[in-house]
Structure 1
Amino acid sequence: MSKITQLLAREILDSRGYPTVEVFIALDTGEMVTASAPGGTSTGKHEAIEIRDGDMARMGGRGVKKAVAAINDVIRPMLIGQDPTRQTGADQILFNLDGTPNKSKLGANAILPVSTAVCKAGAACVRMPMYRYLKEKYGLTQNLKVPTPIFNLINGGAHGAGNLDFQEFHVIPTTNKPFNAALQLGVEMFMALEQVLISKNAIHSVGVEGGFAPNLFTNLDALELLMEAMKRTPYAFGQDLFFGLDVAANSIFKNGKYVIRDRQQPFSAKELTDYYKDLNQKYHIFSLEDPFAEDDWGAWKELTAELSDHVVIVGDDLLTTNKERLEKAVKEKSCTAILVKPNQIGTISETVEVVKIAKDANFQVIVSHRSGETNDDFIADFAVGMGAQYTKFGAPIRGERVAKYNRLLQIESELTPIVSPTTPLPAPTQ
């Protein structure tokens, strides 16, 4: 049995330049691993709490020295000597030390990197790739396969610059493409979109998740840009690729109505449902994420009843990787897919439990990054090991996004059997 001999936390920076937490673990067998915590910009009120220092004289109040101290002073003594392959036991220690339903004592940004580092250490001590370790440990998939990527090519809302109401505009390759071909499609669509923006003298700076953040008049303009970009590629709309939206409707929900720039009058939930149906007719929308506010359960249920035969209805802020909220959504048929973000709940064990509930309910599983990422590529392995259908790691640029895509490429190569040459030997001469 391997044992944890060292566990240390420190403050590092995420992709936004905000402080976050990195954890180092060493084992008595010599293995060493690190893990770091991502952070969200657009966060649901039901997700686990990040602990920030609040000292406005340092890092704009965003420092994480309190979270680092919680790990080094409170968590570390309890995990030294523990077997890293006992993930449930380690996570139960973290759960008990915090003792709150939303991780508000120690903070999800303290708990998650510790839990992730323990998981990495467990895989390291049994000399197994992370994705295969997760598959063998939890048994949530029979066939290891790299999920289909969802590319966020245009950033709006909280991820843009106040340029659009909807937060993300997605390009989604068909699921029958191998990952390397799907990634190529995403890269070529990104390049084509950049050329379209340049040709229109539009601002082609990027948002926090790597997608372009142009100033546009309406949300439909963003979809039209994607259509124009697609025409510059060899790909066929509705065959090779589809579009998706993350509305992040919490940000457009005001006084019981939904307000977007596409029309002057606010939308009721019923009117917004009809608007989404029109979008699906025109743009063949494959997936709709957070189409309504996180507690507008009736609107979610109505939309799912009307559109789920044609569109994947994805809960992010609605569900926040939370067991109780997912069980409610399953019972009420409020959506058909879940966005899985480990830092929304705090530990790997809790995240796995949510994935299992989703799979048992035949929900699609989409493993997602956060807007504030690091180069930690754990979630790429997690997506494969859990048997997720999709990943959402942002645009195919910026190191913190590309790290995940490159890890998926590596996993794909490991899962692809090496084919021996089949050319027959020449017949012997007489």
Structure 2
Amino acid sequence: MGEEGGGRSCGTTRELQKLKQQAMEYYRENDVPRRLEELLNSTFYLQPADVYGHLANCFSKLAKPPTICKVVGKNVLDGLGLPTLQVEIFCTIQNFSKNICSVVIATHFEAHENTSPELVEAEELERVDAVSTAVQWVNETLTEELRGLVPSNQAEVDQVLRTFYENKVQEDKERKELEKNLGDSTALSPQLLLPPPPPPPPSKKKGQKQGKMETSAEKPIIPAEPPEPVLCGSMAIGAVSLAVAKTSAVLDNNPLYLNIALLKHHQEQPEKLTIPLLMVSLVSCGKSSPGKLNLMKEVICIPHPGLTAKQGVEMLLEIQKQINKAIEMSPPPKPETKKSHDGGKRGQSKGKYEVMMGIYKNAAEMVDLYVDLINKFPSIIALIDPFRKEDSEQWDSIYNALGSRCYIIAGTASKSISKLLEEGSISILKYSGLIIKHTNQTTMSDLVEITNLIDGKQLIAVFGSTEGESSDDSLVDLAVGLGVRFIKLGGLSRGERVTKYNRLFTIEEELGQNGTLGFNEEHTFFYWNEEAEKAGELPEVPEPIFPTEVVEEHAKL
């Protein structure tokens, strides 16, 4: 007993000596006595509370950096009153847990026109399931996976999120395969042994001639690609990644756009940051609009690059007033008269684009239509989604015809960011640029990677918002930090949009005050048509009524 006690006492003494040695080395390396002496000398005439404050600041620099201790997911409402995901980050700072920030992510669900009530109800249930699954992921597994990580290490956080997501994708794949195998085994029946009945003869429509079908099927129509599958709950990945980036910015006392810029430029602060040009929707040509034009979905104006963002919005608001007056003064549309036996016309419209009421053009004819449109209105500097993504041949044709005179931009025609990164290529179609959005499993690292790919191909990046957006203005900081060329926020109405416009004004003012506001010299599109006119490539036409550049977005009907 005595020997064991003596051995334990000897071991304890050695441990204490080792700790003392480590403490002495730490004090010597950090020169703590000198720091305390300087601090006491500098605070001799201060109040005791101030002295303690200075001491606290001194020792806080030597303390352990803040680490994530808890991640909380909540079900909240977006700008349309529909459920979406909110994420809060708690960090341990000097042994205390503190709520640092929260973000709200927009969902990928979009409003569809002329949708049946059954499909609307099914999508609502899918949305509820997606949000509740994301909340569960955040509150259970992700908060455990991220506990103890430093928020400033965005790459490590995003790697944890990516691994978690890949595991969920694999689990979902295995579950579907199991369900399929079970379904195949239970579907076996003696009836399957009987030969299948012969197919019925092709039905001949009344009044249809025998040669009609042969002539109408000259060229097969490429069927629309199925929508990319979205894993239920995947919005948790993008939301947590953004929340951690915002947490790091708050702890560093930096704006979010600066931390995103540091992430993009490998932690080297760029000398200048630019404000992306605004794409502002002024006329919506959808079903509910009195100014319906089937050729277009939206008319979008872009302020001149020489204006500040605030000046551009003020000008566009004035244009908006004039547009509203013109629409109110226009005569009401004539009611449509129902025509019988129009089955032939409906069949004629299959695979074609409706440019006006009852006027249909195939994809090849649409190229000529766009060329005529640009010739008549040189201020149109961009076309967004002029074709379906399946009509790749026409994308090549319109780019070759108009690529030097206006931007050809892929919006819905582009694949998702995760799919583009997975394939390692963004040149699926021939275009000038594409619209990127922060949704689903897109992390901050993914946004940096995709914008680097776009920049490397000398294409244009447009940062856009989804329809189910919230009042969270983080996407404006993302656009500025990533250095995209344009930002598409929608119309100048609704609180969730106006909040983002106001955030852009604030960032522009901050950059101007600290001398880091730069001008993007690549905004040269307003010279294209002038050079074309000098070369005699364009007809002489009167100047457009709008003093701003116009973007028209085509509706695929």
TM range (shorter): 0.7 to 0.9
Rounded Cα–Cα distance in structure 1 between residues aligned with 2:475 and 2:449: 16
| Counterpart position of 1:83 | 150
| Counterpart position of 1:196 | 326
Superposed CA offset, 1:300-350 (max 9, x none): 122111111111111122323426648787556610111110116522211
Do structure 1's residue 39 and structure 2's residue 107 form an aligned pair? Answer: yes
Q: Secondary structure at the match of 1:320?
A: coil
Rounded Cα–Cα distance in structure 1 between residues aligned with 2:72 and 2:290: 37
Do structure 1's residue 351 and structure 2's residue 447 form an aligned pair? Answer: yes
Q: CA contact under 8 A between 1:321 and 1:344: conserved in structure 2? A: no
Q: 2:384 aligns with which of 276, 289, 293?
A: 289
| Counterpart position of 2:316 | 186
Do structure 1's residue 307 and structure 2's residue 402 form an aligned pair? Answer: yes
Residues 23, 5 of structure 1: alpha-carbon distance in 2 compared, 3 angstrom cutoff: same
| Counterpart position of 2:369 | 275
Superposed CA offset, 1:41-68 (max 9, x none): 5599xxxxxxxxx996996553222221
Rounded Cα–Cα distance in structure 2 between residues aligned with 1:199 and 1:277: 31
Q: 1:62 aligns with which of 98, 122, 127?
A: 127
Residues 55, 329 of structure 1: alpha-carbon distance in 2 compared, 3 angstrom cutoff: closer
Rounded Cα–Cα distance in structure 2 between residues aligned with 1:28 and 1:103: 37
Rounded Cα–Cα distance in structure 2 between residues aligned with 1:318 and 1:408: 27
Q: Secondary structure at the match of 1:15?
A: coil
Residues 43, 309 of structure 1: alpha-carbon distance in 2 compared, 3 angstrom cutoff: farther
Q: Secondary structure at the match of 1:176?
A: coil
Do structure 1's residue 7 and structure 2's residue 71 form an aligned pair? Answer: yes
Residues 258, 303 of structure 1: alpha-carbon distance in 2 compared, 3 angstrom cutoff: same
- Structure 2 unaligned segments of length 5 or more: list them: 1-64, 113-118, 171-227, 336-347, 516-557
| Counterpart position of 1:408 | 504
Moved more, 154-163 or 78-87: 154-163
| Counterpart position of 1:155 | 284
Q: Secondary structure at the match of 1:416?
A: helix
Residues 369, 79 of structure 1: alpha-carbon distance in 2 compared, 3 angstrom cutoff: same
Q: CA contact under 8 A between 1:321 and 1:339: conserved in structure 2? A: no
| Counterpart position of 1:210 | none
Q: Secondary structure at the match of 1:288?
A: strand
Q: Secondary structure at the match of 2:328?
A: helix
| Counterpart position of 1:250 | none
Q: What one-letter code is carried by the residue in structure 1 that aligns with 2:245?
A: C
Q: Secondary structure at the match of 1:372?
A: coil
Q: What one-letter code is carried by the residue in structure 2 that aligns with 1:379?
A: L
Rounded Cα–Cα distance in structure 1 between residues aligned with 2:123 and 2:429: 46
Rounded Cα–Cα distance in structure 2 between residues aligned with 1:340 and 1:412: 22
User: Percent identity among equivalent residues?
Assistant: 25
Q: Secondary structure at the match of 1:84?
A: coil
Q: 2:254 aligns with which of 95, 114, 128?
A: 128
Residues 163, 40 of structure 1: alpha-carbon distance in 2 compared, 3 angstrom cutoff: farther
Rounded Cα–Cα distance in structure 2 between residues aligned with 1:74 and 1:161: 49
Structure with greater helix percent: 2
Q: Count matched residues.
A: 362
Q: Secondary structure at the match of 2:439?
A: helix
What displacement does 1:296 show? 2.4
Do structure 1's residue 146 and structure 2's residue 275 form an aligned pair? Answer: yes
What displacement does 1:288 show? 0.7
Rounded Cα–Cα distance in structure 2 between residues aligned with 1:158 and 1:391: 25
Q: Larger C-alpha radius of gyration, 1 or 2?
A: 2
Rounded Cα–Cα distance in structure 2 between residues aligned with 1:330 and 1:105: 22
Q: 1:378 aligns with which of 466, 474, 483?
A: 474
Residues 353, 21 of structure 1: alpha-carbon distance in 2 compared, 3 angstrom cutoff: same
Q: What one-letter code is carried by the residue in structure 2 that aligns with 1:62?
A: R
Residues 41, 161 of structure 1: alpha-carbon distance in 2 compared, 3 angstrom cutoff: farther
Residues 257, 106 of structure 1: alpha-carbon distance in 2 compared, 3 angstrom cutoff: closer
- Structure 1 vs Structure 2 CA RMSD: 3.2
Q: What one-letter code is carried by the residue in structure 2 that aligns with 1:6?
A: K
Rounded Cα–Cα distance in structure 1 between residues aligned with 2:75 and 2:246: 20
Q: 2:307 aligns with which of 151, 173, 177?
A: 177
| Counterpart position of 1:23 | 87
Q: Secondary structure at the match of 1:310?
A: coil
Residues 395, 412 of structure 1: alpha-carbon distance in 2 compared, 3 angstrom cutoff: same
Please give the residue correspondences for 1:320-399 in structure 2 after superposition, counting only pairs within 5 Å: 320-322=415-417, 325=420, 331=427, 334-343=430-439, 346-399=442-495
Superposed CA offset, 1:4-44 (max 9, x none): 12211111111122111111112223451111121345599
Q: What one-letter code is carried by the residue in structure 1 that aligns with 2:328?
A: I
| Counterpart position of 1:47 | none
Residues 70, 283 of structure 1: alpha-carbon distance in 2 compared, 3 angstrom cutoff: same
Q: CA contact under 8 A between 1:158 and 1:167: conserved in structure 2? A: no
Q: What one-letter code is carried by the residue in structure 2 that aligns with 1:179?
A: A
Q: Secondary structure at the match of 1:257?
A: coil
Q: Secondary structure at the match of 1:171?
A: strand
Moved more, 400-409 or 31-40: 31-40
What displacement does 1:255 show? 8.3
Rounded Cα–Cα distance in structure 2 between residues aligned with 1:160 and 1:377: 27
Q: What one-letter code is carried by the residue in structure 2 that aligns with 1:167?
A: K
Residues 401, 58 of structure 1: alpha-carbon distance in 2 compared, 3 angstrom cutoff: closer
Moved more, 139-148 or 158-167: 158-167
Q: What one-letter code is carried by the residue in structure 1 that aligns with 2:280?
A: F
Rounded Cα–Cα distance in structure 1 between residues aligned with 2:350 and 2:406: 25
Rounded Cα–Cα distance in structure 2 between residues aligned with 1:417 and 1:18: 39
Q: CA contact under 8 A between 1:163 and 1:216: conserved in structure 2? A: no
Do structure 1's residue 167 and structure 2's residue 261 form an aligned pair? Answer: no
Residues 399, 26 of structure 1: alpha-carbon distance in 2 compared, 3 angstrom cutoff: same
Q: 1:258 aligns with which of 352, 365, 385?
A: 352
What displacement does 1:399 show? 0.6
TM-score, normalisation: structure 2: 0.59
Q: CA contact under 8 A between 1:42 and 1:158: conserved in structure 2? A: no
Rounded Cα–Cα distance in structure 2 between residues aligned with 1:34 and 1:300: 41
Rounded Cα–Cα distance in structure 1 between residues aligned with 2:442 and 2:329: 45
Q: What one-letter code is carried by the residue in structure 2 that aligns with 1:150?
A: M
Residues 359, 164 of structure 1: alpha-carbon distance in 2 compared, 3 angstrom cutoff: same
What displacement does 1:156 show? 3.3
What displacement does 1:70 show? 2.0
